[in-house]
Structure 1
Amino acid sequence: MASEALSFECALITGGGGGIGKAIAQYLISKGKKVLIAGRTESNLKSTAAEINAAGYYVLDTGAVSTIPAFIAKITSANPELDCLVNNAGVQRPLQVLKDAPEEFLRKADQELDINIRGPMHLALGLLPHFRAREGGAVIVNVSSVLGFNPFSIINPVYNGTKAWLHFWSMALRTQLEGTGVRVVEIAPPTVATDLHREREDPDDNKKEKNAAALSVDEFMEEVAEKWERGEDMITAGTGNELVKKWYGAYGEAYDKAAKEYTEKQSKQ
């Protein structure tokens, strides 16, 4: 199945300068893919691209959606073979409605909404015409979170909601794009030892020495790679497996029914 699931040629990975984005980039490069990484900090992108032998890097703030059309025109002109988008960029802000000043809460919340929701949506829809024109098809990969299935991180109320949105968006996008040659894959990380918690009171609370359930980035990618190569379109790892299984056990049948009705209705129009 690896040849089918990884049949694309060139991947753009947002948030590719470190953490899970960097790990996905390394994995795809190991599979012979041309990989382009994007992010907000050029120095980080430059060093990462050199370290992992990425084909190139682009400075992009995915939350500044007004810049995305020009970015898409630039990257597709320079890389016409681009046929995979990995929406990995994201931010997580600890926010408390009774402690944070409203102005500061809203400023940080708006940034989370822009980067975690509007960015992935604008990139996917902006690249869709290019992807649909590709004879070999294309793939959109959305990196969500287990917090989109159960918002147990109370300190991150907005982040949880953005990842729930990304999960539901991935499901609906997959259904609407059925038969177009554009595949949609969702990857929902559990707790992984990255720098995602850097703004928390304890930025290392997602590391193994403080959280026994945490996965290292390598452990996470090993499980993700196996499932990706099997052709799965809903991928998680570690403690996420049981949570995602329960969610689909409770709601999957109802969604499948709705998706079938939608697809049948569209086929008659």
Structure 2
Amino acid sequence: MLSRSSSWGHRLYASGIHLGLSLLVAGLAALLVFAVWYPYPYREISGGRSLFLLVITVDVIMGPLLTLAVFNRSKPLNELRLDLAVIGLLQLAALAYGLWTVAVARPVHLVFEIDRFRVVHAIDVPPELLDRAPAELRHLPLAGPTQLSVREFKSAQESFETTMAAIQGVALGARPDLWQSYEQAKPQIKARARPVSELKSRFPGRAAEIDQALKSASSTVRATTSVGYVPLASRSTFWTVLIDTNTTEVIAFVPIDSF
């Protein structure tokens, strides 16, 4: 018979090993989520960080606690192995469901939408409209968000229908039937972009933050006059996109509501 202190020592040891393995798996999952699905700044804009931490915290805590509860060296070996296998399967199932939830909510496109940028998430896109997108855009990317734009309306009727759908919650940028390449909207993007100096004037207390974002995003010094800004909308947050007004290249993002 094992003493009570010896039994708890074995349980803590087994639970500690399980915790280490769980943290290793969590680290690999974090690499997938934050390096591929939610690269900066989308982990902040789209809530990827908080969603992933909620999922992974529950998963990492659940497995080791169950091991601590059931591990007993006095059990027959086959029974102990079965207990640990069931715990492992439950933990993997919870992790798979959590990652699926994160994947469904992942950002898939940064879309220029008439007068703003919009972060579009996989769950925002009506699946019945995907077949009406250009052929190359009918599959939502798994390797991080891409840049697109919304084309001009073909008729007044289409403008009315899409506007009514937007009122009901389907944003223009989330409609595959309106998608076109980012390059096709360059004239509109240039026309909409306002000088970054204007943004600094509107938010003088954030000027240093804007300069730091530009400095961090580029290895070369850009002329201030060639940088413009366009508002950005997401689910429940509003940021600002800084672009090169000569090329419409996206340079940086700042957490400022510039609408």
Range into which the TM-score falls when normalised by the shorter chain? under 0.3
- Going by fraction, where is helix more abundant, 1 or 2? 2
TM-score by length of 1: 0.22
Which protein, 1 or 2, shows the higher relative CO under an 8 Å CA cutoff with sep ≥ 6?
1
